[in-house]
Each structure stands twice: as C-alpha cells, then as structure tokens.
Structure 1
C-alpha cells in the first residue's frame, strides 16, 4: 500500500509524469543500453526497441500501476502484475536487475523533468517503483520455484510442418534424457536463438499442442513488416531451423490458461491470425478432458489458406458435444463460414460465458466490446498479447 503522503504526491504529479513518461522511457532505455549493451544484444527484443513498442509498454505499465495505487489503495493489480511476471521469468529476469532498471529509470526522470523532481516527488515515485518491483520479484520467485528455477534447456527439432506460406510448426524433444514437465494450455515458451551477428535473441511462442504431449510444439509466423524491420527470430527459424537442429527453450509460462475443469461451464475461444495457437491447445485440452458445456469457437483470418492449424482447430471442436464454430475470412470464405471481420451479431453467447481472446489488438478490443454489450462480465474476458502489452499501455494513458 502506498503511504498517504506519497499517494498525495503521486496523485498531484501523475499528469506531469504521465505526460512525459514516453520521453522518460525512451531516455531510460538509451541510458541503460549505453551502460549495458549486452542487454539489447541478448535479452531485449531488438525489433520492439527499434519500433518503440517496448517503450510504450513500459510507460503504460508504470502509469497504470501508479494510477491503480492512488485510485484503489487497498487493492493490488494482480492480473497486470501476473502477466508481466510470467513474461519476466520466461526471459530469466533476476531480482538484482530491478536495481539496474531503477538506477537508469530515475536518472531519466530527473533528466526529463529537471527541477520538478523535488526530494518529495522523488521519494513518492521511488515508493511506487519499489512497490511494483517487489511485488513482481515475489511473484517471479514463486514461478521460478514451481518451474525449477531460471535456465535454458536444449531441445532437438524432431518435426517441422509448413502450416501455411508464412507459418511453420516445430516439434521438439529434450536433447537430454530428462523428463518433460507438463504445461497448461495457453502457455508459451521462450526460444533463444543465435543470429548471424552473434546476438542471442529471445522470443515467446505459444505451445500449440494440448497438454500431455511428449513433445513441445509451437507455431511461428514469419514476421514481414513493410512499416518496420522484419522479424529477426521468426525469419531465422523459418530459413535455418530444420529437423535435427537444436534450440534453447525456457520452461512454460503464461497466465492465459483455462481454470480448473468445470465440465458444464460455457466458454468462448476467440482468435485471429496466429493468435490461434494457444486457442487450439485449449480446444485440445477441452476435448481430451471431455468438456460437456457449450463452447463457442470464433476465428478470423485473411483467407482459409492463411488459417494456420485449421485442421486441428476444426477437429478438436468436432470432438466437443456442444461446440459452435464460426470462422470469418476476408476473402475466400465458403459456407458455413462467413466473409468479413469477426462479428458476433446473431451468434448466441450463453449467460456466464468465460471468454479467452488472442490476436491483434484491434480484434481483441472489438470482440471485448461486443461481449460486454452482450452482457459478459469484463472480469470474465481474458486475453493474451504477443509482444509488448500495448493494450495495457493504452489503459495506462486513459
């Protein structure tokens, strides 16, 4: 809980700090990478740094956390903290790195705001930072304890499937004789690859097979961005990684997971594009466990040919006794599927539905709005963002 004196100071200065948080985070990253270039080389996503999306996500999380502290002093934003903590442990973030971030972040705050950062203001925002940092450190310790601690394990590629022109599925087994710990449908692994310049870059990919499989399976969309740099890691995996090659993987993490099994619970699993990957794993789990309640399956894509894992998507849904499938394609749709963007108009959404969304932010925002208008409680709508959480960044500015 934020102290009363600090809460008053943060409330008074939040508009100023919030208004400058974008410039603050830009200078923060510049200063930290100047002091520690190895972090950009081997830990932080260079593509996100170049595009500025990581700065936006950090700014949004700080602003959202501070706003929550002053608006809801007796509550902790556990959902936000959990999402950040899972991402951190998948990267191997250690407690001592929070002191490094603190050093460069507060240097950037002083650099941008100058004399406005009085000792009182500095103390208040220092309290905000360490409340957030210590909460994350505690969550991350628990996650590390559950997974056996930070670290990387080598896995051998035993299968590769070209799902579409831009999506490939990789299947891997451990390169050592150790056991394969299970995971929860919806979770992801971090994959570390060594690029041509020697950098060891890390990306997260959702596991796209149902839990219980003896292999790790993830599906990778090749990122080709006309507005920015192409995906370094996705391009490397598509161009260079074949059966017999080895990759370094983290333990599975991620908090977009189905709750404890309730065979009668109504569910909605909505995806778009490569967001289908965790949704297919969830459908596989539901089919394996004999889920009997209604399941509304919704997916949007450019065309049927671009719909990765479509065979599994349909096959798992067909195994469920009360599933309703609705695919939307911008082009090439054939009955019973529809042409256009995802639109829930006319699709029954049962009372008490819990919704799980994964896909581009505009898609998730549109579906969330439609669901709330249909009476689904906001607390029952869960989402996964690939890359920096810019949904949170938007909330932090609102």
Structure 2
C-alpha cells in the first residue's frame, strides 16, 4: 500500500461539473415541459368532461320537472264543465296552447326562438291537514291543524274534504301561517260558484256552511282552481353583483284564468308566481300530434302563432279518417262538456341546455393558431300525453 493511497488528505469527494449541471437542468426542463403539457391537457379534458356531464344532467332534470305537470294538464277537481269561452276562438285561452315567442337566447341552435306551453288546470297545493274539532252541519268555519304550508292558502282556494261527505267548500280568507289555524268558508252557495265556469265549486247547505257533519281529525287537502300554468325560456339576471348579464332560464309561471283572453306576460318582467326551474337553457321547442306521432303540426306546415296552429289543428281534426278523432274533436259533436273527451294529443318537447362556460374544446372551428370558444349543448326529447285532457276545436 502506498502512502498516497492511505492518506486521508488525498481522498476527497468530487461534485458535479458546470457542464453536467447544465445538461441536467436542460433535461429536467424538457421533461417538466412535457409533463406540464400532459397535465394541462388532462385537466382541460377533465373540466370539459365535467361540464358535459353537467349539461346532460341539467337537461334530464329539466325534463323531469316538466313531465309531472304536463301529464296533469287539464286537471279539474271536482269534475265540472270547461270554463266558459275557453274554446270560443283563437283569442281565447285554450286548455293547451303552444306557440313561438320572440326570445332567442345567446347560443340558441340556429338562432331559433324558444316556444311557450300554456295549460289550464286546477293546481293541488302542497298543503294537507285535519280538523282539530268536530265540524257541525251548517258551520262556515272550523279549527284545523296544518303541519306545513298553511301560509300559501289564499281566498278562493278549495278544500277537498276526504271523508264520505267529500265536500268542496271555497275558502273566503287567508287563514294565516302556523300549525293551528281557523279556516273560514264562503257564506253562501252563490259565493262558491266559479266565475269562469258558472258551476258551484262546493256543496254548501242551503243556509250556508257544510252540508254534512264531519268528525274530528277529518283529513283535507287544498286545491287552487282554474290556473294558467306557463312554461317558457326568458332572460333573467341571476347575479346581484352583475345585473347586466342575462342568463336564459326555463321558468314556470302561473296566474288565475281570465275568460276571454290569452295570457301574454312580458318576458323581461318576472311574474308574481314565477319559479326558475333551470338555468342556461337555449332551446325549448314544443309540438303536438293527433295521430300518435305520425305527423307533427308545424312540420306539416302550421305556423308559429297560436291562430295558425289552431287552424292547422282544426283542419287536421276535420280531415282525419278516424271517426273517434272527429267526434271527440267537436266536429260531429260540438257541445262536449268535458276536456277528457277531447281529441287525444301527443306532445313532443325538445329541451336544449348549454354549458356554463365557453371553452375552446367545445368549438369545432378552434385551432392552435386561431383559438375560438363556444358552449357545449345537449338536447333531450320527451313525448307525453296529458292524462286529463286533449285538444278540441270547433
């Protein structure tokens, strides 16, 4: 063993040279740049996928909200004749109305205006309760226990007494909120007549009040009679901090029927009973068929206005080879008393929603040299036949 090999002063650690450090940094830079590009691409694809799933989910959710109510179009309870003037002409509110509006949402496919669908029906309220004491014959008020929902009851709403008497008295005043309330009824039979139909809405005794005695704990529900329910898309400012940005929203609007007119609210002004069902809706198309979907009215040449659609429907009913359609449509029997006897109708609804954000991944024309952003859209379709009415013209 030599002295040089055994000396601790001769053996020493050697570090990286400057050239080695530069090569390592360059290699790591190339590797990190590639990894960042892959990470950015994966993140972008993930976000785009999440937004696409959100669009699909929102579209199905919106259709589910529409489905239950449209199936109840024409619901009248208790059963009574159609409101006077309901089918009197093209300027009168029909039990079902579909026509185009003048609103084209940003991002609407092919710049097509959205439609509106209107229905006339009795609306069951989300209110249930029971009497907290025995109700005597002729009583015009009674104490009731309502666990939730008493605050939504209004004058003119009907009670449905769910016992053997099955009475339908009309409420004369708002009972107030709270669990224990007193419900007041209209004082006479004449006061309980529906002004739109001319038929009594209740079964009051000749001297006023209940016609039967009802036991304590008698259950009841509440119905709001003869309402117009309207579905359409309107612009709404949803961000208080940015009132100038308008979002196209699918809304449900309602009001009492006014005989002799068709409801046409201003799209830019929310109605008193408006509910926003879904945001970022760019397409709402409604069409109907009387032959089970073989032909659709507007595809057959009908216009977008109710008077044009009504005329095309009337011609289709009169020209139908089906005697059932002719008769139920009022051609052979022009004095039909009930909506349930009118021509069965199939309603088709196409609902289109868009993504919240515009992204380059959603644009078919986007390139690296000329990036463009666009919305991702999704359209879903449902077919429905209302259970309580069809459509009849004469």
Is the shorter-chain TM-score for this pair beyond 0.5, marking a shared fold?
no
Length-normalised TM-score, structure 2: 0.26
Length-normalised TM-score, structure 1: 0.25
